[in-house]
Structure 1
């Protein structure tokens, strides 16, 4: 077993030793794409939404260097007609792009990260196939191996977009990376003869140049449109109910904290990492965002985009906000409008997208807490003041101090909404709901 070629099933062994929610049904979906025109799959999800678990599961299933039959016993895929046909039958190349970018950062070799990635994989291939002449190009090396042996490869690339996220302004490096991926997956004369399938995960969808994807042959499943993979975005409601029963947790409270992502094929999807932490600890808390600082959210909601402040205020009050997602370029720097910011926040998991009415909202209590924290510690001083004054407004309401309440709402109206929205009835309603939301959760 190697570091990149046929890494084995150790990652999935670890997952199976703990509490495991069966997501192996996704394997049957990938099996149907093998060797077809749909063999290239890119799945984008927020951090800690199970992307790496899925990648390790696929490695364990396809990797011909190991025997994973017992690992899948009793799981959904074991009853599928395709289970035996593809189990441990392929050479698998697994690449965790964060490994390469982190190593390059430590060694101060970031400009060479793509070159080093290609070289390391070629070295392993050369050791595994000594009779095939070494090439300096990974696509050419794979092609020669396939032609000499008849073997095709399955690529599993985890965090494919890490280079774009960590090297946001290095366009030359990004373009060299895209060229490598195109050489592997968009070479009409070679790809079909050497690649049986590819499965990429990332936080962002594939980078766009204008309106076109950088790799148009990939079928994408995103937080905007997960399509047939919707139930694998996170935990479904039946899965969460079962976990709550196992661990003696109150389901309705777990739902309030971690539900909120909804798609055509899965109406109620939960943050998987947070649910697992909550049931294991027996305590509801903000687990997902503990893995980040609030800066991740704060940077984007502080951008000076027209209408962004009003959108944040409305969503904090529980309202939905209409957006147009088309112009977003699937990167973190080409942000031209309020809608680009909000679309990015959907991909990062901070907002839920309703495809039917093309709107976004804050999905649950866990994320609402993070928005409040980012706003109160950020530069949106008007909204921050509204939140800080909510306790005073609540006290005046409970004491039935009509004039104080009226004055406070008037101040909130002027504080939270731009002057052009002052006479907008929906704007006033949203401001009142902001205060109400704060009261409810304090």
Structure 2
């Protein structure tokens, strides 16, 4: 089987020098730098440009590529050899290694309070001064400028000086190299997001308003600036007065294929990795994002992780690689604050449906949880939802241009939604309730289990009742905090089991049913038992040698009442 080198690095130079697989995005430079009035010339693309995309869509690697291309202190010709931009001799002659570059990543400026956040920022700026230590001894800078740089380097600078750090460093570069600097800022919105989460939002806004204003608005020593982030908060007060900021987000057609992998790129990638036969499976799990008007893209992080796993283990099945990329606090916030209307929407989404929503693509962080509009906008911009480019309702039904038809993009994100629901439900069940339920479950005592579960529904579930997905989530949540392994919607036998639980030598297959009529519960319970047997949902656990006991459970719900039936299909001492 063919094999390609998948690298985990977000450093462009390391990736290229280590012969890592790179999906070539360097043709962006031609489009970004070209002069539309004079097609054969290149121009500086404005003072500042902001690109917003979800997490894990290649933003850091993108900026690292730009840094290597522009940096005057490097010779990058070999790094770009064979890439699209290298064929454009005029562009490379004009721009490659011609400008000093200040590359700043704010992704680690995270803290529980404002003072600790400033301390982290101070250390970050100090490290930048060390990286550009040539400026500390440059004879082209006067004594006071070198003294200020040394104070920043030693983390001894005042708060006012720290506010001017971007201006100070770019000015020093201008004097030393005798050329304006290019400023690259990665994850520009992380410090503000962290501040909003931890209660020091106002202090952080006041600081970064000055920090960005000094670095971007009143900085005559810049050639240009490029920023990346997750949210398009261009009206946020951190950018007050910055009128020369151009934004390209998930809704914008221009540069819609720069972040994420297109279908053509994924097809090539799978073929070169010897995995072309996995195309449909990969598409179902990781495709589905719509950027701009019609551009269909895959999540690059998930694709690369899947290919890396599949090359090592040919039987690898797709899974959710986004799970450990962040705390998924956005979904937790949505679920914790849901009303009945939001619950209906979540249920529609988990059924594979879509809904119409009005989006606010320029929220402030202080507004993020204020309205459903802002919640959907937040989930849209961060990749948990996407817009549907085709099949939109008639425009007469959607007179406002900011109305969109939204859906969960793929199975990976649907899995994350379900996972967060299960964790939410696990927190609603007390340890005492869980112990009683687990004891009755494994005994198995269907009558006692149904009685205890009905009591749990009465005291624990409010807005999240009456939906099959939420009953499903509650049952899975019961086992999450135990030693048991819990799997939802796992392919096994001739279909997908609702819930599969494996606890050491014991395993159980659970089928969940729901009805609006209590008199239908007995028939539904029988239907569930027959479905488990007919579709052989226990095939997977029967193949595990250590599993000595296998149970079939069918549980049917009607509002806050349930009926259950259990069957022992294997019991070996």
Query: Per the shorter chain, which TM-score range?
Result: 0.7 to 0.9
Task: Determine the structure 2 residue equivalent to 1:229.
Answer: 255
Task: Determine the structure 2 residue equivalent to 1:79.
Answer: 87
**Shift in Å, 1:116:** 5.7
Post-superposition CA distance 1:62-101 (Å, at most 9, x none): 01111111111111111234122201111000111134x2
Per the alignment, do residues 73 and 265 of structure 1 end up closer, same or farther by CA in structure 2, a change over 3 Å counting? Answer: farther
Greater displacement, 356-365 / 35-44: 35-44
**Does the 8 Å contact 2:13/2:79 carry over to 1?**
yes
Alpha-carbon RMSD across the aligned residues, in angstroms, is 3.5
Residues 248-287 of structure 1: pairs in structure 2 closer than 5 A: 248-249=274-275, 250-264=278-292, 266-282=294-310, 283=316, 284-287=318-321
1:373 aligned to 419, 423, 439, which one? 419
Task: Determine the structure 2 residue equivalent to 1:162.
Answer: 190
Task: Determine the structure 2 residue equivalent to 1:176.
Answer: 207
* Distance (whole Å) between structure 2 residues aligned to residue 148 and residue 306 of structure 1: 61
**Shift in Å, 1:30:** 3.2
* Distance (whole Å) between structure 1 residues aligned to residue 344 and residue 470 of structure 2: 14
Task: Determine the structure 2 residue equivalent to 1:423.
Answer: none
Residues 251-330 of structure 1: pairs in structure 2 closer than 5 A: 251-264=279-292, 266-282=294-310, 283=316, 284-305=318-339, 307-326=341-360, 329-330=363-364
Post-superposition CA distance 1:141-164 (Å, at most 9, x none): 644764686410000111111211
**Shift in Å, 1:180:** 1.6
Identify unmatched segments of 5+ residues in structure 2: 1-8, 36-41, 149-160, 311-315, 393-402, 426-462, 476-497, 499-510, 514-523, 532-553, 561-573
Post-superposition CA distance 1:285-327 (Å, at most 9, x none): 1112233345552233322356221211111112212112227
* Correspondence 1:109 to 2:116: yes
Larger strand share, 1 or 2: 2
Identify unmatched segments of 5+ residues in structure 1: 1-8, 401-407, 416-442
* Distance (whole Å) between structure 1 residues aligned to residue 120 and residue 170 of structure 2: 20
* Correspondence 1:57 to 2:46: no
Residues 188-267 of structure 1: pairs in structure 2 closer than 5 A: 191=219, 193-209=220-236, 215-223=242-250, 225-249=251-275, 250-264=278-292, 266-267=294-295
Count of aligned residue pairs for this structure pair: 391
SS at 1:205 equivalent: coil
The structure with higher relative contact order (CA 8 Å, sep 6+) is: 1
Larger helix share, 1 or 2: 1
* Distance (whole Å) between structure 2 residues aligned to residue 63 and residue 182 of structure 1: 24
**Does the 8 Å contact 1:93/1:156 carry over to 2?**
yes
SS at 1:64 equivalent: coil
**Shift in Å, 1:332:** 6.6
Task: Determine the structure 2 residue equivalent to 1:403.
Answer: none
SS at 1:244 equivalent: helix
Per the alignment, do residues 221 and 305 of structure 1 end up closer, same or farther by CA in structure 2, a change over 3 Å counting? Answer: farther
Per the alignment, do residues 77 and 340 of structure 1 end up closer, same or farther by CA in structure 2, a change over 3 Å counting? Answer: same
